[in-house]
Amino acid sequence: MEQLKTYLDSNKERQLEELLELLRIPSVSADPAYKEDVRKTAEWVKHSLEQAGAENIEICETAGHPIVYADKLIDDNLPTVLVYGHYDVQPPDPVELWDSPPFEPVIKKTRLHPDGAIFARGACDDKGQMFMHIKAFEAMLAHDALPCNVKFMIEGEEEIGSENLGTFCRANKEKLDCDVVLIADTSVIANDQPSITVGLRGLSYLEVEVTGPNRDLHSGVYGGAVANPINILSQMIASLQDENNAITIPGFYDDVEVITEAERAEMNKAPFSLDAYKKELKIDDVHGEKGYTTLERTSIRPTLDVNGIWGGYIGEGAKTVLPSKAFAKISMRLVPNQDPDTITELFTKHFESLAPDSVKVKVTPHHGGEPAVTPTDTPEYQAAHLAMKSTYGKDPIPQRGGGSIPIVALFEKVLGVKTVLMGFGLDTDDIHSPNEHYGLFNFYKGIETIPYYFHHYAELKK
Ligand code: BES
Ligand code: MN
Ligand code: MN
């Protein structure tokens, strides 16, 4: 480990340069205009794995964007770690809100990142975090210190729901056979307080369309007598939450796992300052389901949010119009044991029933994903605990996360293995937002910690 540290320290600049190169390729999976850049990124990742010393490297075609597979199998008797990550990124929009172009990474200091942070789309989610695994692997190989077999599966469709990864996993069960899936795509509580994510929320994402009259109308000639689909849609959306901010869809909470008071008390012991939270977001108050703390609202409780809403005239100045159509994109974060298909169905039925006869509604489901919880009483989790303890000098706290990585539930179902979510970002790193960034401290800490994971895991499995 000493030698490894010396190697890592003397390669910091190169590691960073390489990451900046990766960040310059705009691998936006959602937008077909970037299709070739997404492929270029897969090629880049392949090349990087090659240079690090991986074998059996393949670009695996799917019905969508390709998956990069590679491995280094050293001994049948050693445990096998499957590293999963994604090289695709969210669209950078709204681009005008970035302080520097999203695909031209720059390093700047911030209050939470006094050593500097890399500003670019994908810096934290997930190029920066995925790349830590490649660099940690390179270092272990260079020092003959790889104590486990490793497989890499780096995909290009995580940000659009990993729709083709399930098929790939089912078709390649043997190739992906492993003892644990290790992922760096989540966050820690703070740079001086490590944590390990032990739960992810599921997701049901839909689009709704409300149609009034067959064409846009003069809002004076017809206004007051014909339903305005934007007014109606607003009312329908508003009614989805009651005065306690609980979701009103009948049956929505039926399958929600009940967490005991003792577990909730334990959860709320995690370091968290509501004041700092509000200050950081420049809000005077938080908003959420009555009876739950902010930590609970973002982990063990389901949510419903409008992600986008549009229709009518949104150009310069004023235009008097009664629009024909209104649209919204709505997502629900789910918790154990809610099933995304069931929730999608409940939403659809309820939403259709809300519509008055003066409009028509159409609900179109997008992607979904199941929630996941990971156990802490396993050697897989313990290895992560020991690894973070070694490099942060502090016990990491297990904490459920609010985000989703839909494929995690599938790993358990299809491959029969548990996942360990050892991520290194901060919740304030603005993933999916303008000015996404990733701390240099976090990047290097991740590269340093990952070899400890392999070391401790191999020891625990002896
Ligand atoms: N890395 C995130 C998920 C995440 C972030 C989990 C922070 C926990 C803490 C992932 O890339 C992501 O954004 N997932 C999407 C899933 C969706 C597109 C199916 C999400 O959560 O919105
Ligand atoms: Mn991610
Ligand atoms: Mn993401």
Question: For the domain that residue 401 is a member of, what is the CATH number?
Answer: 3.40.630.10
Q: Provide the pLDDT confidence category of residue 75 given band limits of 50, 70 and 90.
A: very high
Residues 150 and 7 in one domain: yes
Residues 196 and 223 in one domain: no
Q: Judge contact between 370 and 409, C-beta under 8 A.
A: yes
- Residue 68: pLDDT above 90? yes
Domain assignment present for residue 264? The answer is no
Distance 122 CA to ligand 2 centre (A): 8
Instruction: Tell me what the mean pLDDT of segment 244-264 comes to.
Output: 97
Domain assignment present for residue 62? The answer is yes
Domain assignment present for residue 279? The answer is no
Residues 336 and 434 in one domain: no
Residues 237 and 362 in one domain: yes
Distance 140 CA to ligand 3 centre (A): 28
Instruction: Give how many domains the chain has, as a whole number.
Output: 2
The separation between the first and the last C-alpha atoms of the chain, rounded to the nearest angstrom, is 19
Residues 77 and 119 in one domain: yes
Residues 21 and 162 in one domain: yes
Give the model confidence (pLDDT) of 141-192 as tens digits: 999 999 999 999 999 999 999 999 999 999 999 999 999 999 999 999 999 9
Give the model confidence (pLDDT) of 209-218 as tens digits: 999 999 999 9
Domain assignment present for residue 276? The answer is no
Residues 153 and 182 in one domain: yes
Residues 454 and 328 in one domain: no
Separation of alpha carbons 447 and 131, rounded Å: 9
Q: Within 10 A of 194 (CB to CB), how many other CB atoms are there? A: 24
Residues 385 and 322 in one domain: no
Domain assignment present for residue 263? The answer is no
Domain assignment present for residue 170? The answer is yes
Residues 99 and 222 in one domain: no
Of the residues 349, 368, 387, the one at which a domain ends = 368
Ligand 1 binding pocket includes 128 (Cβ within 6 Å): no
Ligand 1 binding pocket includes 195 (Cβ within 6 Å): no
Residue 6 burial by CB count (10 A; 0-12/13-18/19+): exposed, middle or buried? Answer: exposed
Ligand 1 binding pocket includes 405 (Cβ within 6 Å): yes
Distance 431 CA to ligand 3 centre (A): 7
Ligand 1 pocket: which of 124, 404, 410 to mutate (most atoms within 8 A of CB):
404
Give the model confidence (pLDDT) of 100-150 as tens digits: 999 999 999 999 999 999 999 999 999 999 999 999 999 999 999 999 999
* Cα–chain center distance at 60: 22
- Residue 450: pLDDT above 90? yes
Q: What is the pLDDT of residue 2?
A: 84
Instruction: Tell me what the mean pLDDT of segment 269-279 comes to.
Output: 96
- On whether the pTM is more than 0.85, the answer is yes
Q: What is the pLDDT of residue 1?
A: 84
Residues 213 and 308 in one domain: yes
Of the residues 368, 403, 421, the one at which a domain ends = 368
Domain span at 183: 2-200+371-460
Q: Judge contact between 114 and 165, C-beta under 8 A.
A: no
Domain assignment present for residue 105? The answer is yes
Q: Judge contact between 207 and 310, C-beta under 8 A.
A: no
The atom of ligand 1 lying closest to the CA of 201 is: 21
- Find, among 456, 451, 422, 387, the residue nearest to 4 by Cα: 451
What CATH number has the domain bearing residue 223? 3.30.70.360
Q: Judge contact between 99 and 441, C-beta under 8 A.
A: no
- Residue 367: pLDDT above 90? no
Give the model confidence (pLDDT) of 20-44 as tens digits: 999 999 999 999 999 999 999 999 9
Q: Judge contact between 175 and 295, C-beta under 8 A.
A: no
Question: Which residue is closest in CA terms to ligand 1's atom 15?
Answer: 404
Please give the order of strands across the beta sheet that includes 106-108.
106-108, 117-119, 437-439
Residues labelled catalytic: 88, 158
Domain assignment present for residue 271? The answer is no
Residues 194 and 61 in one domain: yes
